[in-house]
Amino acid sequence: MDGAAKIPVLDFSWQEDDGTERGNENWKLLCSKVREACEIHGCFLLTYDRIPASLRSDMLAAMKALFDLPEETKTKHQNPKPYLSYQGKCPVVPLHESFGIDDVATRLEAAREFTHYMWPQGNPPFCEILHSMSSKMLELNFTILEMISESFGMEGKHRDALVRDSTSVFRVMKYKVPPREDQNLGLVPHTDKNALTVLCQNDVQGLEIMTKEDHWEQVMVPEDAFVVIVGDALKAWSNGRLVAAKHRVVMKGEKERYSFGLFSVPKEGAIIKVPPELVDDEHPLLYRPFKFADYFAYFVSNVSDDALEIYAGV
């Protein structure tokens, strides 16, 4: 780690009466700040009052109870799709444990099924917290996608394409305390493959992003903030104008880290196609149209830092 990154913190806590309504000047200013942060860093921090602090602390407490369940219960969460099944005791990242839950933000039934697997005797508060948090984070994620389209002056069918063609995955993660200073990698360096990720964490720092100068810098996340990260799908859609931030987790100190994230993911069958508004003499087309699911399958069998360029670069 080389230092703390100067990632902007944007205030998304607009109220109906404070003048920041969609379409007005304050909204447009916020859209351009979002775009600028995504162009420079591929990442920003935000504060947002529509997700109350009490829901965040309930979520973190619920996650602790989840990860405290016996290993054989947690292993029951299996999904044939890559990176969704319960993961623990992975030799590459032994500190990391996670669950990925499909569609839980939009389907209460998905929250019920997951809860039932983990607590067959029932745990309605857990189910309620999981669904409520994931659906609020999905709304936020979609708002940011809309702001990005708007900041590029997108109109008509291209404007809402990102949101209309997206589904979501909610991930919950725990990072154990490292046994020694040299065994502290919580999550390997990667770019997210999906469109946009919104993350939230407990008070233990550890997220680092790679700067344009190839330095790892810590993202100091204020206690009440969310982290937003641009993924490969959005980078490709934007014709490379937005950066897909490479990031990792490094653990220090004596406290466990918990984080959760809402990933907007192009739907089954969705094609990532650069809108014509984003191609001109200064910005020649960088990516051919491709089916996101095919790119993801390619990545899973050819894990590489350059997967997007190799797969879809023109």
Ligand X SMILES: O=C(O)CCC(=O)C(=O)O
Residue numbers at the binding site for ligand X (CB under 6 A): 171, 173, 187, 192, 199, 201, 207, 247, 249, 259, 261
In terms of CB distance, is 95 or 145 closer to ligand X?
95
One residue of 192, 208, 217, 232 binding Fe ion per CB under 5 A: 192
Q: Which does 217 bind (CB under 5 to 8 A by kind): Fe ion, ligand X, none?
A: none
Name the burial class of residue 227, with classes exposed (0-12), middle (13-18) and buried (19+) by CB atoms within 10 angstroms of its CB. Answer: buried
In terms of CB distance, is 161 or 250 closer to Fe ion?
250
In terms of CB distance, is 31 or 185 closer to Fe ion?
185
In terms of CB distance, is 131 or 257 closer to ligand X?
257
Q: How far is the CB of 301 from ligand X (least distance, A)?
A: 19
How far apart are alpha carbons 129 and 114 in whole angstroms? 12
Q: How far is the CB of 275 from ligand X (least distance, A)?
A: 26
Q: How far is the CB of 155 from ligand X (least distance, A)?
A: 32
Name beta bridge partners: 262: 170, 198
Q: Which does 201 bind (CB under 5 to 8 A by kind): Fe ion, ligand X, none?
A: ligand X
Whether residue 64 contacts residue 177, with contact meaning beta carbons closer than 8 Å, is answered with no
Q: Which stretch binds Fe ion (CB under 5 A): 103-111, 138-146, 164-172, 192-200?
A: 192-200
The residue nearest ligand X at its CB is: 259
Q: Which does 173 bind (CB under 5 to 8 A by kind): Fe ion, ligand X, none?
A: ligand X
Whether residue 226 contacts residue 140, with contact meaning beta carbons closer than 8 Å, is answered with yes
- 218 Cβ neighbours under 8 A, 6+ residues apart: 1, 3, 4, 5, 205, 207, 208
Q: Which does 249 bind (CB under 5 to 8 A by kind): ligand X, Fe ion, none?
A: ligand X
Q: How far is the CB of 198 from Fe ion (least distance, A)?
A: 11
In terms of CB distance, is 192 or 208 closer to Fe ion?
192
How far apart are alpha carbons 175 and 259 in whole angstroms? 8
Q: How far is the CB of 92 from ligand X (least distance, A)?
A: 14
Q: How far is the CB of 27 from ligand X (least distance, A)?
A: 28
Task: Write down the residue that tokens 């051919």 correspond to.
Answer: 288
In terms of CB distance, is 107 or 190 closer to Fe ion?
190
Q: How far is the CB of 265 from ligand X (least distance, A)?
A: 12
How far apart are alpha carbons 94 and 221 in whole angstroms? 24
Name beta bridge partners: 101: 170
Q: Which stretch binds Fe ion (CB under 5 A): 61-69, 115-123, 158-166, 186-194?
A: 186-194
In terms of CB distance, is 152 or 170 closer to ligand X?
170
**Contact residues: Fe ion, CB under 5 A:** 192
